[in-house]
């Protein structure tokens, strides 16, 4: 059966983990996969997560199944964190999902069940795995303009025009904040204009919210979701706790659906749970209980907000540090978009050949598109990094 198979291509992002690990050069720099790193270049378990995990070990008395929707208390807290009071909760449902990707995958099956011929419009560019993940599930995808690769700005007018061409009933995939890969988000006025087109064209927003708290604050980063929720009859939101709780490998996320009314919400809830049963049966528990313990305890929640603000602050500082170092070494080049972008990523704005050159000659790893993970920059490697980049320009 397998003898005629060919190996699958390496993953554009995850493939870099092994490449970097196997590079023996001590000065190598990893700006690839999106994980937070401290000033020492480490990705530690958050202190607040350690505290909650200890509490969990001490108190958990069963590991029996809890069902396809996961932990109700986790779901309620995540729903509140995402939507606050922007919409009547009788129209809203939230289930636990295995990370943001698991949530996107369940949403894809739900969309196919509801509207098999719908197209999902995705930003050009979008997260490298959106297309294989959603397309692989059977959805038809088309791009809408988003990023100007020369000027390093959002093409808001072209985006609005692109969305105006989408037929009523189509789905629009949006990044709630910290757009991956560009790091450039629409302004609040831009979001208002995007929401108006969505309402006018009767499109369904499908929001990927993988970085809440990494751009400005937990509340500000939820602006798009909450603004849309107040306007549209139906919406899909996929959340991830990978980054803001540092629970990457534990696979923690939620899928929320806003329906037109309670009866429709209840129908969708039964369909979503049925989808889950046919894919992975029940979600993993550990990380979700940890998040639930944190969000349900005012002291732990306050400690989490502080750790989150520290991560956000470090990303901002590293953007400035690299931009300054590049200004000195390559004064003819403008890298100011590094500091205009937010969150974990942005494009460096160099060619795939220059990316390859950086990897081969300097041990500097990034995605071929020149997307860099800002968290890979430290005060200790920034000079080497800027020297290397200047050398390939």
CA distances from 5 to 2, 10, 137, 335, 390 (A): 5, 15, 21, 44, 42
Asked if 180 is part of the footprint of ligand LMR (rule: CB under 6 A), the reply reads yes
Asked if 13 is part of the footprint of ligand LMR (rule: CB under 6 A), the reply reads yes
The set of residues, in sequence order, having a beta carbon less than 8 Å from that of 137 and lying 6+ positions away, is 105, 108, 109, 112
Cβ 271 to ligand LMR shortest distance, Å: 26
| 74, 83, 127, 335: residue in contact with ligand LMR (rule CB under 6 A) | 127
Cβ 42 to ligand LMR shortest distance, Å: 17
| Whether 181 contacts 218, CB under 8 Å | no
**Binding residues with ligand LMR: total (CB under 6 A):** 6
Site for ligand LMR in 64-93 (CB under 6 A): none
Options 127, 191, 250, 285, the catalytic residue: 127
Asked if 178 is part of the footprint of ligand LMR (rule: CB under 6 A), the reply reads no
Asked if 36 is part of the footprint of ligand LMR (rule: CB under 6 A), the reply reads no
Options 30, 170, 185, 208, the catalytic residue: 208
| 20, 30, 31, 34: residue in contact with ligand LMR (rule CB under 6 A) | 34
Is 127 in the active site?
A: yes
Reduced to 3 DSSP states, what percent helix, strand and coil does the chain have, rounded to the nearest 5? 45, 15, 40
At residue 236, φ and ψ (nearest 5 deg) are -120, 135
Question: Sign of the CA dihedral 306, 310, 311, 316?
Answer: positive
Cβ 326 to ligand LMR shortest distance, Å: 22
* 129 or 273: CB nearest ligand LMR: 129
CA distances from 143 to 16, 119, 140, 159, 182 (A): 26, 10, 10, 10, 15
Asked if 246 is part of the footprint of ligand LMR (rule: CB under 6 A), the reply reads no
Site for ligand LMR in 276-315 (CB under 6 A): none
Cβ 327 to ligand LMR shortest distance, Å: 27
Cβ 180 to ligand LMR shortest distance, Å: 5
Is 208 in the active site?
A: yes
Asked if 131 is part of the footprint of ligand LMR (rule: CB under 6 A), the reply reads no
Give me the long-range contacts of 351-359 (CB less than 8 A, separation at least 24): 354/392, 354/393, 357/392, 358/388, 358/389, 358/392, 359/19
Is 243 in the active site?
A: yes
At residue 136, φ and ψ (nearest 5 deg) are -65, -25
Asked if 15 is part of the footprint of ligand LMR (rule: CB under 6 A), the reply reads no
Residue 126 has which token pair? Answer: 């979008």
Asked if 104 is part of the footprint of ligand LMR (rule: CB under 6 A), the reply reads no
Asked if 271 is part of the footprint of ligand LMR (rule: CB under 6 A), the reply reads no
Residue 94 has which token pair? Answer: 């939230």
Select from 58, 110, 56, 67 the least CA-distant residue to 238: 110
Options 71, 243, 250, 285, the catalytic residue: 243
Select from 257, 265, 198, 266 the least CA-distant residue to 228: 198
| 17, 23, 28, 33: residue in contact with ligand LMR (rule CB under 6 A) | 33
Cβ 95 to ligand LMR shortest distance, Å: 21
The set of residues, in sequence order, having a beta carbon less than 8 Å from that of 136 and lying 6+ positions away, is none
Question: Which amino acids are annotated catalytic?
Answer: 127, 208, 243
Q: Binding residues for ligand LMR, per CB under 6 A?
A: 13, 33-34, 127, 129, 180
């Amino acid at each position: 059966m397998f003898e005629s198979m060919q190996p699958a291509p390496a993953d554009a992002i995850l493939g870099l983990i092994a490449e970097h690990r196997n590079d023996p050069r001590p000065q190598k720099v990893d700006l690839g996969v999106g994980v937070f790193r401290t000033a020492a270049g480490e990705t530690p378990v958050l202190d607040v997560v350690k505290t909650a995990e200890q509490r969990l070990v001490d108190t958990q008395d069963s590991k029996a199944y809890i069902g396809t929707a996961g932990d109700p208390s986790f779901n309620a807290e995540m729903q509140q964190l995402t939507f606050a009071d922007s919409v009547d909760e009788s129209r809203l449902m939230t289930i636990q999902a295995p990370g943001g990707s698991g949530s996107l995958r369940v949403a894809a099956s739900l969309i196919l069940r509801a509207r098999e011929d719908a197209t999902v419009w995705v930003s050009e560019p979008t997260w490298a795995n959106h297309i294989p993940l959603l397309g692989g599930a059977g959805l038809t995808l088309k791009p809408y303009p988003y990023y100007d690769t020369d000027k390093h700005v959002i093409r808001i007018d072209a985006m609005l025009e692109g969305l105006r061409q989408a037929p009523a009933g189509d789905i629009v995939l949006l990044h709630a904040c910290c757009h991956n890969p560009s790091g450039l988000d629409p302004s609040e006025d831009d979001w208002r204009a995007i929401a108006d087109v969505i309402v006018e064209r009767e499109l369904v927003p499908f929001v990927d919210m993988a970085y809440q708290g990494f751009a400005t604050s937990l509340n500000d980063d939820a602006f798009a979701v909450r603004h849309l929720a107040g306007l549209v009859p139906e919406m899909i939101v996929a959340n991830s706790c990978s980054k803001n709780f540092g629970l990457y490998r534990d696979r923690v996320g939620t899928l929320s659906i806003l329906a037109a009314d309670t009866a429709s919400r209840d129908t969708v809830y039964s369909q979503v749970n049925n989808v889950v049963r046919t894919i992975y049966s029940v979600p993993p528990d550990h990380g979700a209980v940890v998040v639930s313990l944190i969000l349900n305890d005012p002291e732990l929640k306050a400690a989490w907000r502080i750790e989150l603000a520290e991560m956000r602050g470090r990303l901002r500082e590293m953007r400035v540090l690299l931009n300054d170092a590049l200004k000195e070494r390559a004064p003819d080049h403008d890298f100011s978009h590094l500091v205009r972008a937010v969150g974990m990523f942005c494009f460096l704005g160099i060619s795939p050949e220059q990316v390859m050159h950086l990897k081969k000659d300097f041990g500097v790893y990034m995605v071929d598109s020149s997307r860099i993970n800002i968290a890979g920059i430290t005060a200790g490697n920034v000079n080497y990094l800027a020297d290397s980049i200047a050398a390939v320009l």
